[in-house]
């Protein structure tokens, strides 16, 4: 008969009342032993065994004891049951939610980076702030060497997670709590700063601190702590994780800056190769034939703890999977942050060259197109996809075409005069 492969199905129970009450329950069965119809309309209620039949086939399925007790309590003792196993839908509305979250985060992060750039440009007119701004920019700017080092660290970290997951997962959770709390604070503090009221201050350590920012810090820390304590409560903890994750991505995109398009190409190109290698190539290397990227994302060796580095949205279409468990549609932070850094560079370049947001809008639209392409391929191939495989070409090609069409490719590739001015170099002729 072959090895047992548990699959999920639905037990549709109906009482004998008027009108009859119905309720669905999760069952586990083996398709090698039991064949179930794919819809309720094609299913027939189970009946008593008939001795006149020469060959009797009994479907075998497992159901939770708590569900049996609930069935008796809800529907009574006389119950008709029907078993069926609907297929997973090829498209789920959760993908739309993921799409909106991703595009919103990339667009807002890029716009926020442009606002910060405009403040830098204004500060350059003040000689007293010029040196401070220059040093601050150097601390948060990716150079080509920094990009290569960053990708190497990503590779090493992923391999370490694969082999030492059950220990390192708690390190990642701790880092996420700290980083997301700080990011949420930075995002909300920027909003609160635009509110003119409630600006009372107290003196602490020779500094005047706004009281509302103290309360804000407490709120952000509390949000991260609540998520850490209840992170495995799938019914609602995903909402808090997504809020913290969006804040983390926004702060990352706004803070870390690519100095020129050349650095963007190096970063996105290397991370594209990283994504493809660990998704498609590593199954030929690992003993169990599994992708290292997929194994780490799912929690290798059946580990119940999951890495909090993804946007999670529960599947919204009704199926056996949604009844038995709460499956999620996932999008990694890297699929938002990495293209987001290019979108942010495009927005800053628009600000520096006064080009009316053409680079920013074009790159954001290209990111949205890349996301749609990712979901289409995901639905057709019915397997996890490295999103950067589609996002990187869409965004890089679009940005290059805009720069070529505007005859600004050299300036776009090397960075604007503002970036060279920060470094104390002469701007190359464009």
Clarify whether residues 25 and 163 are in a common domain.
no
Asked if residue 243 is part of any domain, the answer here is no
Q: What is the pLDDT of residues 215-240, one digit of tens each?
A: 999 999 999 999 999 998 888 999 99
66 and 123 belong to one structural domain: no
pLDDT grade for 247, boundaries at 50, 70 and 90? very high
Q: Residue 244 in contact with residue 105, Cβ under 8 Å?
A: no
Q: For residue 11, give every residue at least 6 positions away whose Cβ sits within 8 Å of its Cβ, in sequence order, or none.
A: 24, 25, 26, 27, 61, 63, 67, 81, 82, 83
Q: Are residues 42 and 139 in the same domain?
A: no
What is the rounded distance in angstroms from the CA atom of residue 137 to the CA atom of residue 126? Answer: 16
Active-site residue, selected from the candidate residues 24, 38, 92, 275? 275
* 329 found inside a domain: yes
Beta carbons of 364 and 106 less than 8 angstroms apart: yes
pLDDT confidence of 421, banded at 50, 70, 90?
very low
What is the DSSP annotation of 240-258?
HHHHHHHHHHHHHHHHSB-
- Assess if residue 250 is contained within a domain: no
pLDDT computed for residue 267 by the predictor = 95
More confident: 345 or 21: 345
Exposure string for 233-272, b = 16+ CB within 10 A, e = fewer: eeeebbebbbebbbbbbbbbbbbbbbbbbebbbbbbebbb
Count the Cβ atoms, other than its own, within 10 Å of residue 359: 28
Q: Is the Cβ–Cβ distance between 99 and 390 less than 8 Å?
A: no
Q: Do residues 284 and 343 share a domain?
A: yes
Helix (H) or strand (E) holding 7: strand 6-15
Instruction: Give tens-digit pLDDT for 279-337.
Output: 889 888 888 788 888 888 877 666 778 899 999 998 877 666 667 766 788 899 999 99
Same structural domain, 290 and 148: yes
**Which one of 92, 242, 335, 350 is the catalytic residue?**
335
Q: Specify whether the CB–CB gap between 251 and 344 falls below 8 A.
A: no
Tell me if 233 is assigned to some domain. no
Locate the DSSP E strands across 273-408. 310-314, 328-332
Better pLDDT: 102 or 3? 102
**Poorest-pLDDT segment among 35-49, 169-183, 336-350:** 35-49
Does residue 240 fall inside a structural domain? no
What is the model's pLDDT at position 383? 72
Q: Are residues 275 and 386 in the same domain?
A: yes
Does 135 or 24 have the greater pLDDT score? 24
Residue 314 three-state SS: strand
Same domain, 77 and 115: no
Active site residue 242: no
Q: Check if 234 is active-site.
A: no
Query: Does 41 share its domain with 152?
Result: no
- Average pLDDT of the chain? 84
Q: Looking at 30, 51, 84, which one is the last position of a domain?
A: 84
For residue 214, the number of C-alpha atoms closer than 13 Å in the C-beta half-sphere is 12
Structural domain that includes position 38: 6-84
Residue at 312 is within a domain: yes
How far is it, in rounded angstroms, from Cα 56 to Cα 118? 78
Any domain includes 231: no
Same domain, 66 and 114: no
Do 262 and 387 share a domain, yes or no? yes
Is 216 within the bounds of a domain? no
Please name which of 47, 73, 67, 94 lies closest in space to residue 375, comparing C-alpha atoms. Answer: 94
Q: Are residues 16 and 163 in the same domain?
A: no
Q: Which of 84, 107, 130 represents a domain boundary (last residue)? A: 84
pLDDT, position 248: 97
pLDDT above 90 as % of the chain: 43
Q: Show which of 52, 84, 116 is a domain's final residue.
A: 84
Same domain, 24 and 134: no
Entry field: residues in the chain: 430
Read off the pLDDT band of 251 (50, 70, 90): very high
Number of domains in the chain: 2
115-124 mean pLDDT: 80
Q: Stretch 334-349: mean pLDDT, rounded?
A: 95
* pLDDT given at position 207: 75
DSSP state of 84: E
């Amino acid at each position: 008969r072959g090895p047992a492969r548990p699959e999920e199905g639905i037990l549709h129970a109906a009482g004998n009342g008027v009108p009859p009450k119905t309720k669905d329950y999760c069952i586990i069965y083996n398709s090698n032993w039991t064949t179930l119809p794919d819809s309720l309309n094609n299913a027939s209620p189970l009946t008593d065994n008939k001795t006149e039949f020469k060959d009797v086939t009994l479907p075998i399925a497992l159901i939770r004891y708590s569900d049996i007790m609930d069935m008796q309590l809800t529907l009574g003792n006389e119950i008709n049951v029907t078993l069926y196993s609907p297929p997973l839908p090829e498209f789920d509305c959760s993908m739309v939610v993921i799409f909106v979250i991703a595009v919103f985060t990339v667009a807002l992060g890029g716009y926020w980076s442009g606002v910060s750039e405009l403040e830098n440009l204004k500060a350059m007119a003040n000689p007293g702030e010029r040196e401070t701004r220059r040093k601050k920019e150097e601390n948060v700017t990716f150079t080509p060497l920094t990009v290569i080092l960053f990708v190497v660290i990503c590779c090493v970290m992923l391999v370490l997670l694969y082999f030492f997951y059950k220990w390192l997962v708690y390190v990642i959770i701790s880092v996420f709590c700290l980083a997301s709390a700080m990011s949420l604070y930075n995002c909300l503090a920027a909003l609160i700063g635009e509110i003119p009221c409630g600006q009372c201050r107290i003196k602490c350590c020779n500094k005047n601190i706004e009281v509302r920012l103290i309360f804000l810090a407490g709120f952000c820390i509390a949000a991260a702590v609540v998520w850490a304590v209840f992170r495995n409560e799938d019914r609602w903890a995903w909402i808090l994780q997504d809020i913290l994750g969006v804040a983390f991505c926004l702060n990352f995109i706004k803070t870390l800056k690519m100095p020129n398009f050349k650095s963007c190409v190096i970063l996105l190109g290397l991370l594209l190769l990283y994504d493809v290698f660990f998704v498609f190539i590593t199954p030929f290397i690992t003993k169990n034939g599994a992708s290292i990227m997929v194994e780490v994302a799912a929690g290798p060796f059946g580990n119940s703890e999951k890495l909090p580095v993804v946007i999670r949205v529960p599947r919204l279409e009704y199926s056996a999977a949604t009844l038995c468990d709460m499956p999620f549609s996932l999008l990694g932070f890297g699929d938002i942050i990495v293209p987001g850094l290019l979108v942010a560079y495009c927005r800053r370049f628009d600000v520096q060259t006064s080009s009316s947001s053409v680079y920013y809008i074009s790159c954001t639209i290209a990111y949205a197109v890349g996301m749609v392409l990712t979901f289409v391929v995901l639905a057709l191939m019915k397997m996890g996809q490295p999103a950067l495989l589609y996002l990187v070409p869409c965004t890089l090609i679009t940005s290059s075409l805009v720069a070529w069409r505007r005859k600004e490719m050299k300036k776009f590739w090397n960075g604007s005069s503002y970036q060279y001015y920060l470094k104390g170099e002469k701007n190359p002729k464009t």
